A and B are shown apart, each in its own frame.
Chain A
């Protein structure tokens, strides 16, 4: 694996995992929507 390959892999993984963690943090700390009724 070339150094550039490592860079592309790490940046991609950090991006997708980072985005998911950021989103989940926002979802779990946001005020609860009332879905009933």
Chain B
């Protein structure tokens, strides 16, 4: 590890905001309200909070604990850390999923991030006389919806593959390259100087933007006796208890918690590896989760569907929810902003907030891969970032070229951003609870901690979380996978995108094999056979 410069966090609040920034993303504002409204409204919050308490927060604690433990042994990547925790090669190679997920998701996430910036710039332009996103204010609703869909499809090139390069690169390509460069620059500036400093500024800015949009939405004038703010909130929050009897509701709630909290993503394990044994992780993990929940429930649950309902009514909002997160965020909300007083200003603020939410997440996707390349190859940070940028640009370029019907984007999102997240969470929690051991795991978690994890979570982490996750994987395999596999036979782009994912896996396996040899030659304890060097250092007991 001698070739790697030492990275560290500047402050406790900085780590919390960086992890919360990683967690708060587009899903908080766009995915959550749609999921809640489709699965029982207010009643959805029962399985949702159950999943938060019994899955999200405890698995998060396990990730923080494993990350910090691995960091004390000099490792910062998911493969190396899981190798130490699981004491062997099998877990080390399973840990590759923790690098694959962030880098592969970044291929499409940064592209979507550039949509947010492009929309924001368009709305700012509209404040100065530009035509915004091309929606005429007084036009009939169906004309406005058509204009909004047309603008989105043209901007993102979703009508044909290569559409964004026909006759020279389209503006969104330049937005994408600019956003990609900002990401790489922030990661290059380092953990404390780049990621932490940016999140310390971006998270409060995001909260201020969300607050302003929330106040605007809650004070909207009624459009008819039915289309009121109260009924809009009712659409999201009125409970339908019948949904609780459907297993899909419980799976949707658990899925939302995973995607939202960044557990099983490979990020927390990397971020926590830069903490010392005396640093608190239990309270920090809980605070990061609580911050994410405020953005998701407190803002996401109050803004999106309420605004849509006031201007589009019950039918329009229900149709918007059916179009999914992207349809709701990028096709429906611009129509809503066209009706809203000060709509261009609110539109600019909304998409700027989404851009901040996205970029605080995307920078967290590059950092684990950079750390992995550094320690596998023994390269310095600059060289490692260059290689990761090349991989990111190649994978991102694939998504930006194959834009038709968002097939490439959707394929990576399904296979990596949905399925593998649950697999990695299961790998991590089983490794922590069953191989590392609950007793040892809880002792490690409580070192330096400012609060204690209630004892009931020993049972939850050892039994409830793995069982829940295995059931989720089983359900995926029986429900979604057959359809996804059939989809590969119908689309060359989808099939080739899976080959791209496989190529990334081969690349990561090769790096792990190289790293294994290096670590062994350097005398590092890659199989977790010895206690960390700082084990004897006096550490404050938890719970004081």
Contacts and interface: CB of A to CB of B under 8 A. Distances in A.
Interface of A: 1-2, 4-9, 11-13, 15-17, 19-20, 22-24, 26-28, 30, 32-36
A33 B280 contact: yes
B418 interface: no
A27 to B, nearest CB: 6
Contacts of A27: 12-13, 16, 283-284, 287, 450
B12 A13 contact: no
B542 to A, nearest CB: 12
A23 B290 contact: yes
Interface of B: 8-13, 16, 41-43, 45, 49, 230-231, 233-234, 236-239, 276, 278-280, 283-284, 286-287, 290-291, 293-294, 296-298, 301, 448, 450-451
Given A4-B42, A4-B238, A9-B233, A32 B287 contact: no
B448 A9 contact: no
A1 B450 contact: no
The 3 A-B pairs of least Cβ separation, nearest first, read: A8-B42, A1-B234, A5-B238
B12 A33 contact: yes
Contacts of B238: 1-2, 4-5, 8
B210 to A, nearest CB: 13
Contacts of B451: 26
20 contacts: A1-B233, A1-B234, A2-B234, A2-B238, A4-B42, A4-B239, A5-B237, A5-B238, A6-B237, A8-B42, A8-B43, A13-B298, A17-B298, A20-B290, A23-B287, A26-B283, A27-B283, A33-B448, A35-B276, A35-B279
A35 B12 contact: yes
B287 A24 contact: yes
Contacts of B448: 33
Contacts of B49: 12, 15
Give the one of A4, A8, A28 with max B CB within 10 A. A8
Contacts of B279: 33, 35
B287 A35 contact: no
Nearest to B285: A23
B230 A1 contact: yes
A15 B297 CA distance: 10
B233 A35 contact: no
A23 B289 CA distance: 10
B9 A35 contact: yes
A1 B226 CA distance: 11
A29 B187 CA distance: 30
A2 B16 CA distance: 37
A24 to B, nearest CB: 7
Contacts of B286: 19, 23
Contacts of A4: 42, 238-239
A1 B239 CA distance: 10
Given A30-B450, A33-B448, A8 B237 contact: yes
A14 to B, nearest CB: 10
Contacts of A24: 287
B90 to A, nearest CB: 34
B202 to A, nearest CB: 17
Given A24-B287, A35-B279, A16 B45 contact: no
Contacts of B42: 4-5, 7-9, 12
Contacts of A33: 12, 276, 278-280, 448
A29 B13 CA distance: 12
A19 B450 CA distance: 15
A16 B276 CA distance: 29
A12 B297 contact: yes
A1 B12 contact: no
A1 B231 contact: yes
B211 to A, nearest CB: 12
Contacts of B276: 33, 35
